[in-house]
Amino acid sequence: MNRNGQRRFLEFFAGGGMARLGLGDDWSCAFANDFDPVKAAAYRANFSDAAEHFHEGDVFALNAGQLPTADLAWASSPCQDFSLAGARAGLVGGRSSAFFGFWSLMRTLSAEGRAPSVIVIENVVGLLTSHGGADFTALCRALHEEGYRFGALEIDAGVFVPQSRPRVFVIATRNPPAAFVGGSAFQTRAVREAVARLPAELQSAWVWWGVPSPPPRNTDLVALLEPDEEAAWSPPDRTEALLALMAPAHRAAVDARLAECERAVGAVFRRMRGGVQRAEVRFDGLAGCLRTPRGGSSRQTLLVIDQGAVRSRLISPREAARLMGLPDSYQLPKSQTAGLQIMGDGVAVPVVRWLAETLLAPLIDSKTASLAAE
């Protein structure tokens, strides 16, 4: 910790700074990095101290001498090559291989005796199965070779905000983890199966993090939307074209709500199913997982049924920011595409906050308390 008692952290692939916002005021950002100019501009716009610690550029161009000593390193490395919507290139892919630029820095810090006691690696759930689990094994082996114990949690942001957004959080530590072992709803089947595929030597280094479940979410999609009169609605023919793309079950869900003559709001994605483009709608109060506008899935659409009529529109960047748990004071780029890119690539703020409060801060503080007792 620094002299003010704040825990210090390094944030790699920082994007718009959502991990920093989730960690909160009890943490001090000692270093942050991203190579994307759009995200870098958003970071600078939202953090007045960015000039002191933010470095724009490729992670491979950094050297360990630029990194201050810190308690935690957070890495939300590019996920496109792990995503189920992508080509599944894995750790050898051009973008997800950026992880190795980050890991090279961690290894150097380790050799210098300055490695963070805790590391968090956040990515899509596809990380667990990419290349039949070989990529996850390689990640665990890299952590093990540098003396870390590690475990993973699969947390869907939908537990906290009205957006279905499952992500994997690998938490690794050099601190004694025994006090933090236990059961958790976030130890999902996918996580358990990934562990079962690990060789015995890595299973012996595994930690089953005992993170509690949060209270039930008390907001739904409708609560985060702009007023109808302020929204930019699609022309009627575009809405009809969207409805025409629906498979019978999804169209029946729309027709049922039309017959009820009550207001209903659904989230729609267009996807390829068996070589055919389909529009799929959900009316469960959740948005689908936000993606970048140029990603493998189309930009998310809202379908509003009211008084026997159907209207549609695209989700706005501000609505996307709310679905990521960001306050309305967060400054978005003027470009809608840029705003949606930052949100689609980000980590949900309340998930980070929950992890920080229930695991990361106590884990780091346990080392501080142990040193004080010696």
Token duo for residue 219: 């907001």
Paired with 171 in beta bridges are 120, 151
Is the per-residue pLDDT at 206 higher than 80?
A: yes
Is the per-residue pLDDT at 2 higher than 60?
A: no
- Compute the C-alpha angle 5/9/362, nearest 5°: 60
Architecture of domain 7-216+343-373: 3-Layer(aba) Sandwich (3.40)
Spatial distance between the Cα atoms of 268 and 279, rounded to a whole number of angstroms: 6
Q: Give the model's pLDDT for residue 272.
A: 84
Is the per-residue pLDDT at 86 higher than 70?
A: no
Is the per-residue pLDDT at 7 higher than 70?
A: yes
CB atoms near residue 227 (< 10 Å): 6
Is the per-residue pLDDT at 294 higher than 80?
A: no
Q: Give the model's pLDDT for residue 79.
A: 64
Spatial distance between the Cα atoms of 207 and 330, rounded to a whole number of angstroms: 36
Top pLDDT among 83 and 310 is at: 310
Q: Are 30 and 7 in contact (CB under 8 A)?
A: no
pLDDT band at 82 (very low <50, low <70, confident <90, very high): low
What are the pLDDT digits (tens) for 49-59? Answer: 999 999 999 99
Q: Give the model's pLDDT for residue 18.
A: 98
Mean pLDDT (whole number) for 100-110? 93
Is the per-residue pLDDT at 374 higher than 80?
A: no
**Amino acid found at 132:** G
Q: Give the model's pLDDT for residue 85.
A: 45
Mean pLDDT (whole number) for 38-64? 96
- Compute the C-alpha angle 198/204/205, nearest 5°: 90
Burial 183-216 (b: 16+ CB within 10 A, else e): ebebbbebbeebbeebeeebeebbbbbbbeebee
pLDDT > 70 in the chain, percent: 90
Paired with 340 in beta bridges are none
Q: Where in the chain is the domain with CATH 3.40.50.150?
A: 7-216+343-373
What are the pLDDT digits (tens) for 359-370? Answer: 999 999 987 545
Q: Give the model's pLDDT for residue 4.
A: 57
CB atoms near residue 373 (< 10 Å): 6
Q: Which has the minimum average pLDDT: 92-106, 222-236, 340-354?
A: 92-106
Mean pLDDT taken over the chain: 91
Mean pLDDT (whole number) for 190-200? 98
Q: Give the model's pLDDT for residue 244.
A: 96
pLDDT band at 199 (very low <50, low <70, confident <90, very high): very high
Q: Give the model's pLDDT for residue 177.
A: 96
DSSP code at position 316: P
Spatial distance between the Cα atoms of 337 and 339, rounded to a whole number of angstroms: 5
H-only helix segments in the chain: 18-23, 37-46, 50-53, 98-111, 134-145, 189-197, 200-203, 236-244, 248-260, 317-323, 336-344, 349-355, 361-373
pLDDT band at 93 (very low <50, low <70, confident <90, very high): low
What are the pLDDT digits (tens) for 146-184? Answer: 999 999 999 999 999 999 999 999 999 999 999 999 999
92 to 24, 153, 294, 370: CA distances (angstroms): 34, 23, 22, 40
Helix (H, G, I), strand (E, B) or coil at 134: helix
What are the pLDDT digits (tens) for 314-338? Answer: 999 999 999 999 999 999 999 999 9
Token duo for residue 25: 């005021």
- Compute the C-alpha angle 119/124/126, nearest 5°: 115
pLDDT band at 94 (very low <50, low <70, confident <90, very high): low
H-only helix segments in 47-117: 50-53, 98-111
Spatial distance between the Cα atoms of 355 and 365, rounded to a whole number of angstroms: 14
Mean pLDDT (whole number) for 215-239? 95
pLDDT band at 274 (very low <50, low <70, confident <90, very high): confident
Token duo for residue 289: 């997982």
pLDDT band at 270 (very low <50, low <70, confident <90, very high): confident
pLDDT band at 96 (very low <50, low <70, confident <90, very high): low
For residue 207, the number of C-alpha atoms closer than 13 Å in the C-beta half-sphere is: 24
**Overall residue count recorded for the chain in this entry:** 374
Q: Are 80 and 127 in contact (CB under 8 A)?
A: no
